Structure 1
Amino acid sequence: MADVLKVTTPLSGYDNSTIKNNPQAGQGAQIQNPVDPTRVTRGDNRTNSGGNGEQQLAFQYKSNFGAFLNMVKNVPDLSKIFADIFFQGDEMLTGGVMGQEAAEKIAAFFKATQMNEEDILPFLKEQAESNVKFSGGLFDQMRMVMADTNSVDLKADVLNFIKKFNDMSSGKHILGDIFRTLREMESFVYKQTREQIQEMLKELDMSAQEGNTSENSALLKNKIIPFLARYISANHDMGTVRDKISLLTVLISRYENGNKGEVLQAFQRLTGYQGFRKYFGEMTLNQFSQLLDQVDMDQAAGKNEWSDKFLDFLRTGVNGGTGLENRQTFLNMMNSMILNESVYMPLLHLAFPININGKKLFTEMWIDPDEHGSTTQAGIKRVSRIFVKFDIQGLGQFKLLLVYGEDASSLQLYYPEGMQKSEGSIQKGIKAIFEQHRLRIDNLHLQAGGGPSSPLEVFPKIQERKNSVDVRI
């Protein structure tokens, strides 16, 4: 008779060695929530980090931050991808697939990468300054206010001021995005509606200065948005047009938020805090208004001519201008650039190709200028950490890790394996560079091949939030 009940308790006289355990008695491969009456557990025996009780806390289960860390770890190597395209050079222009406009943009970018040795340092400084959006004496003092106060209200109002200033300095850029979004909507509406949109766009003042947003905001909120809302209601258009209206409302909100009056009100609110007046003294609203008039908004918004050509280069490739077979490559590059600008990335990220006297190289670097936090805190000395990956045409990829502080400094360089015979020359060259710029180097380590591949391996600060509460929406 078949053992339907699969009894596992041995009977008298049976050979215990032949009795097999009940396969259902233990925990199955897919069962992760066994009942333990001695303690309270959550479903599937998971911890808040997504692992089980025996695993250490790693990521929040399906959290935004966990997804970010996973993307950083698995993102394609931008330096290798870009170097492959950049080293092709003019060959991209002779493939016969590009139109005249695309070819001109690619050629303009390649021309912008050509430099002499003496141009490199000013170029690096310019790129770094344009990436640090909130720079200058005003924001240095704002940072001191944030570091010196324990008031949650003061910190919130400082951040509110910075947000409004950011929207004001980006006013022309935001207005351009609004204009382009409306022009894109023309392709998805009827001819009569398209003509009406075109007429309303003529009323937009595209030359309006940053902070002077009242007239354009009124036109957008009181005329253009209601017109589009009526169009959707009348035609029951729930597709692309409605999606673009959602984007449009966000852009309009930012544009209106950047009105100079809004920025002045945010500053006036800050003057009510003693912690703020400690660093700004008795600066009046009129004095601050005059200070705003002297600010270079293009620089404050991070506008950079070289970066604009770089973006045109990426945009041309993403749109298929260099051939559809290269489109995914450009998309990977763009995604990598955007990922490194994430709100979760606490580092300055730079990426740029350079053509020095016909020798091409592509460099990507991550910089943490103050690894231990604010240097305004007593007893804390600044330590800077820099991770650089660069490809040199004809040689290969190098990786450099520099940790530089007041008490100690160290440099690790990982070079292509084919250059092992030149290690002595490389070492002498590095020491000569440090001596030339009067920098101290306590430890110098050179290695052929290997080295870290991701900033996650170099900067512990990136993962500081992994033990915090986070949810995915």
Structure 2
Amino acid sequence: MPENLRITAPVGSDGKVTRPNSTPETPRTQPVNPGRVPQAGGQKTDGGQRELLLARDSVFGAFIRRWEQTPGLGETLQRLASMAAAGPQAPGRTLPADAPPLQRLAAALTMERGDIVKNLVFQQENGTLFSGPLFRYLDRLSGRADDPQLDLRIADFLRAFTGCFSAGEVRQSILNNLRAVEASIPAVYARKLQAAQEKLPPEDASPGAFAEAVKKEILPLLSRYVARTNDYGKSRDAISLLINNLAILETGSRKDLVARFEELLRYCRTGLNLPEEEAGRMQGLFAQEVLSRQAEPENEFSRALASLLSRAGRRGEGESEGLDPAAVRDICTSVLLDHSVFMPFVHLFLPASVGGRFLFTEIWIEKKDAEAPPAPRGEAGVRPVRLYLTFDIQDLGYFEASVSLTGKRADLHLACPPALARRRGEIRADLAGILQRDGLAPGSVRLTSCREPEVPKIIRKKIDERKRAIDVSV
């Protein structure tokens, strides 16, 4: 019997139960991360912050891993361009509209010396959607006013501008989203989705009509699918992108664009007391920007490369033309990484065939750091603009250059192949003459031998230095 009796707490004279104090559990000891321990003397280390930024689930860490794993354009695009230049070419540079994309790219690569500069300038001026005089004016106005209400109205205008002049790309993105949904849902629902897509209007229909058809034919079907299956897999991600692109397309009418601009202009007049002269200038810049968007900018290389990548990305078409799908994906990934918010450079690239000699050029232009300290007084308040160049010339070798522009002064460091070491004096004089012809005052012009590529290391270091700053240019 005694072993069946349950032991209870004793009852005191006041009738209350006295419970013994339980021994508290010893807390578990967590391992100490040395990178997060402050150093002696109050000096803190950046190890903890760096580990946090490079964590597996951080956005910056994912960007760095993808950037390091993706081959550079110097490997992928250069190989593709050299293959195009070595392939059969049609006589003359005027090709029929149905010419193979690789042949069109080969024709676009044949350039004169002046064409190289024109192509690079085109890339710089058209690198973002908002690169015209109007957007530079709005950027200066926003920085001068420092008004959150103005920034909200500018954001509404930019959203309407994007939808208005990117309707074709957004429509194609919606169709790609539908194909992604179709590939990730059961066959019975995929067949219903295919039947619904056949009811969408043709390509020449207005963006508004296309958006209304998607809302009427596609969204109810997807809504019923999600409600019945509760699918949180790949299809849900594709549906989310579809809804986002549809919202962009709905704000893409000319009427909405004009309404957003008039609202912005009205606030500038009443909220910022913008003079009528400035308001008239702003209206003129808007009209100029709209007219310039009527015709797509002409550039043979950009059009040929975009057509080739778009066609090669479709299932089976790239392989039928002898293209490596993995190389095409790497090229597209490299271009997308160049436009990441973590990339502190404007990246220009150009393969070309000049005088029967193939060359591949890459230029990295350092973006302006808004949080950088002011320039030293000795430089008259002008902060240097730094450029890094690499160019691989057939039969000559690999070159690297770093240029620092401070006002009209240019400091240049050129690393040449070892075979050209005997001609350093001649090359230095030619470079100084080129700078003078371009209206620049030559500073220090230094030449060394290029033993191994250094520019990729500099780019990686600059990305790491500005890891806490992002650039949201579109």
Q: Could you state the TM-score of these two structures normalised by the residue count of structure 1?
A: 0.72
Decide which of 238, 246, 257 is 1:244's aligned counterpart.
238
- State how far apart, in whole Å, the 1-side matches of 2:59 and 2:223 are: 33
Is 2:223 aligned against 1:229? yes
Decide which of 26, 31, 47 is 2:36's aligned counterpart.
47
Secondary structure of 2:349 counterpart: strand
Specify whether residues 61 and 182 from structure 1 end up closer, same or farther in structure 2 by C-alpha distance, changes over 3 A only: closer
- State how far apart, in whole Å, the 1-side matches of 2:150 and 2:202 are: 37
- State how far apart, in whole Å, the 1-side matches of 2:402 and 2:346 are: 15
Residues 26-45 of structure 1 correspond to what in structure 2 (within 5 A)? Answer: 33=30, 44-45=33-34
In the TM superposition, what is the alpha-carbon distance from 1:356 to its structure 2 partner? 0.9
In the TM superposition, what is the alpha-carbon distance from 1:251 to its structure 2 partner? 1.3
Q: Which deviations, in whole Å up to 9, do the C-alpha atoms of 1:322-373 show, x marking residues without a partner?
A: 7889333333332222111112223321112111121111111111365678
What is residue 420 of structure 2 aligned with on the other side? Answer: 419
Specify whether residues 305 and 325 from structure 1 end up closer, same or farther in structure 2 by C-alpha distance, changes over 3 A only: closer
- State how far apart, in whole Å, the 1-side matches of 2:143 and 2:457 are: 26
What is residue 340 of structure 1 aligned with on the other side? Answer: 338
Q: How many pairs are equivalent?
A: 415
Are the counterparts in 2 of residues 102 and 322 from structure 1 also a CA contact under 8 Å? no
Secondary structure of 2:340 counterpart: coil
What is residue 324 of structure 2 aligned with on the other side? Answer: 326
What is residue 14 of structure 2 aligned with on the other side? Answer: none
Q: Which deviations, in whole Å up to 9, do the C-alpha atoms of 1:54-112 show, x marking residues without a partner?
A: 55554625232244345445643321343334334466679xxxxxx999211211111
What is residue 24 of structure 1 aligned with on the other side? Answer: none
- State how far apart, in whole Å, the 1-side matches of 2:320 and 2:432 are: 42
What is residue 145 of structure 2 aligned with on the other side? Answer: 149
Decide which of 297, 306, 317 is 2:301's aligned counterpart.
306
Q: List gaps (5 residues or longer) in structure 1.
A: 1-30, 35-42, 95-100
Specify whether residues 463 and 44 from structure 1 end up closer, same or farther in structure 2 by C-alpha distance, changes over 3 A only: closer
Is 2:261 aligned against 1:256? no
- State how far apart, in whole Å, the 2-side matches of 1:385 and 1:153 are: 34
In the TM superposition, what is the alpha-carbon distance from 1:388 to its structure 2 partner? 1.2
What is residue 197 of structure 1 aligned with on the other side? Answer: 196
- State how far apart, in whole Å, the 2-side matches of 1:200 and 1:285 are: 43
Q: Tell me which amino acid in the other structure corresponds to 1:199.
A: E
Are the counterparts in 1 of residues 342 and 469 from structure 2 also a CA contact under 8 Å? no
- State how far apart, in whole Å, the 2-side matches of 1:137 and 1:244 are: 36
Are the counterparts in 1 of residues 162 and 252 from structure 2 also a CA contact under 8 Å? yes
Q: List gaps (5 residues or longer) in structure 2.
A: 1-27, 90-96
What is residue 3 of structure 2 aligned with on the other side? Answer: none
Specify whether residues 395 and 155 from structure 1 end up closer, same or farther in structure 2 by C-alpha distance, changes over 3 A only: same
In the TM superposition, what is the alpha-carbon distance from 1:402 to its structure 2 partner? 0.9
| Aligned alpha-carbon RMSD (Å) | 4.3
Are the counterparts in 1 of residues 111 and 352 from structure 2 also a CA contact under 8 Å? yes
Are the counterparts in 2 of residues 73 and 456 from structure 1 also a CA contact under 8 Å? no
- State how far apart, in whole Å, the 1-side matches of 2:358 and 2:396 are: 10
Are the counterparts in 2 of residues 268 and 285 from structure 1 also a CA contact under 8 Å? no
Is 2:153 aligned against 1:122? no
Are the counterparts in 2 of residues 364 and 388 from structure 1 also a CA contact under 8 Å? yes
What is residue 382 of structure 2 aligned with on the other side? Answer: 381
Higher RCO structure (Cα 8 Å, ≥6 apart) = 1
- State how far apart, in whole Å, the 2-side matches of 1:366 and 1:150 are: 30
Secondary structure of 2:129 counterpart: coil
- State how far apart, in whole Å, the 1-side matches of 2:298 and 2:226 are: 36
Q: Which deviations, in whole Å up to 9, do the C-alpha atoms of 1:385-407 show, x marking residues without a partner?
A: 21111111222221111111226
Q: Tell me which amino acid in the other structure corresponds to 1:277.
A: L
In the TM superposition, what is the alpha-carbon distance from 1:317 to its structure 2 partner? 5.3
Secondary structure of 1:115 counterpart: coil
Aligned-residue sequence identity (percent) comes to 23
In the TM superposition, what is the alpha-carbon distance from 1:444 to its structure 2 partner? 0.8
- State how far apart, in whole Å, the 2-side matches of 1:245 and 1:183 are: 11
Decide which of 77, 82, 88 is 1:87's aligned counterpart.
82
Q: Tell me which amino acid in the other structure corresponds to 1:154.
A: L
- State how far apart, in whole Å, the 2-side matches of 1:177 and 1:450 are: 45
Secondary structure of 1:360 counterpart: strand
Q: Tell me which amino acid in the other structure corresponds to 1:256.
A: E
Q: Could you state the TM-score of these two structures normalised by the residue count of structure 2?
A: 0.72
Specify whether residues 269 and 462 from structure 1 end up closer, same or farther in structure 2 by C-alpha distance, changes over 3 A only: farther
What is residue 403 of structure 1 aligned with on the other side? Answer: 404
Specify whether residues 282 and 352 from structure 1 end up closer, same or farther in structure 2 by C-alpha distance, changes over 3 A only: closer
